[in-house]
Amino acid sequence: MLCGDIEAGTDAYSKLLGRAPNWRAASGGAATSLFRVENTAIELMAPDGDTDAAPRIRELVDRGAALTSLAFRTKDIAQTHRLFSRRGLHPDAIQPGKSTHLETGEPRSWKRFRCSDDAMAGIKTFIIEPDAKDAVSDVDQACVHALDHVVINTPNPDRAAATYGARLGLDLRLDRTAEQWKTRFLFFKTGGLTLEIINRLDQEADPVADDQIWGLTWAVRDIQAAHDRLAKAGIETSNIRNGRKPGTQVFTVKGKTLGVPTLFIAHSRD
């Protein structure tokens, strides 16, 4: 996620998630904070100084923070690069990356490539092979333990089905049109995370226009405790309600998410 100020963004997401960032770094005109949960991570990026990437990041966040990128982990980046080249994702060259923790001086490194923005309908998509798996900090049941799903808006659901299913190779679990909500839903699973891709049937849209990452749903084990925790932190929320999926409860976070539509969810253990 791109934001205008890394300190403000880090503070907001520390309170929202109920956990401290696992990694903080600054280089090349960008300051970052990474929050790891059980099945994935969210990285905040903001301009740092006035050189290198900083002017471009400021330009991108001129209208506010934005979800712009997806990153998928692989165990064999060379093999994945060959496969995605054959599938028409037009990846750029594999590149090394490295970072140093601002507070501890600990190093980390990775290899990564980026798929063509055109092939991914405008969503910046990276494939990463890290040198090691980050540990996940323990938190109590009122805090976020996982990212339940990412919501992506698309004007072209058939294109999205081909992109995420046939090309990226994600597991398509559901393709359903809900007339009561005037929406077509596609659900893809990967690594314990759901990509919920939605097409609004009551809205006219150019079928060649870009997709957009729209919102996030975070999973907690005790939704009442999570609701109380956010209230104590001064974060406004809706009341707890039953979710659309049987056996779930949800509430909407109404502020202090850097403008990202945000839902909290708890799944029944029965």
Please spell the DSSP secondary structure of the chain, one letter per residue.
-B-S-HHHHHHHHHHHHTS--SEEEEETTEEEEEEE-SS-EEEEEEE-SSSTTHHHHHHHTTTS-B--EEEEE-S-HHHHHHHHHHTT------EEEEEE-TTT--EEEEEEEE--TTTTTT-EEEEEEESSPPPPPP--TTS--EEEEEEEE-S-HHHHIIIIIIIT--EEEEEEEEGGGTEEEEEEEETTEEEEEEEETTS---TTSPPEEEEEEEE-S-HHHHHHHHHHTT--B---EE-SSTTEEEEEE-SSSTT--EEEEEE---
Whether 31 is in a domain gets the answer yes
Q: Dmax of the chain from CA atoms?
A: 54
Q: Residue 119 is part of which domain span?
A: 6-130
Distance of CA 44 to the CA centre of its chain: 10
Residues of the chain with pLDDT under 50: none
Look at residue 253 in the predicted model and tell me its pLDDT. Answer: 98
Using the 3D structure, point to which of 70, 95, 130 is the last residue of a domain.
Answer: 130
What CATH number did the domain enclosing 227 receive? Answer: 3.10.180.10
Query: Percent of the chain scored above 70 by pLDDT?
Result: 100
Tens digits of residue pLDDT in 104-160: 999 999 999 999 999 999 999 999 999 987 778 889 999 999 999 999 999 999 999
- Tell me whether residue 137 is in a domain: no
Beta bridge partners of 100: 107
**98 and 187 together in one domain:** no
Number of domains in the chain: 2
In a domain, residue 135? The reply is no
In a domain, 140, yes or no: no
Residue 136 lies in a domain: no
Same domain, yes or no: 11 and 102: yes
77 and 34 co-located in one domain:
yes
Is 230 domain-assigned? yes
- Are residue 79 and residue 157 in the same domain, yes or no? no
Is 1 among the domain residues? Answer: no
Domain check: are 248 and 188 in the same one?
yes
For residue 137, what pLDDT is reported?
85
pLDDT of the residue at 270: 56
Within-domain flag for 138: no
At residue 264, the pLDDT reads 98
Same domain, 235 and 152: yes
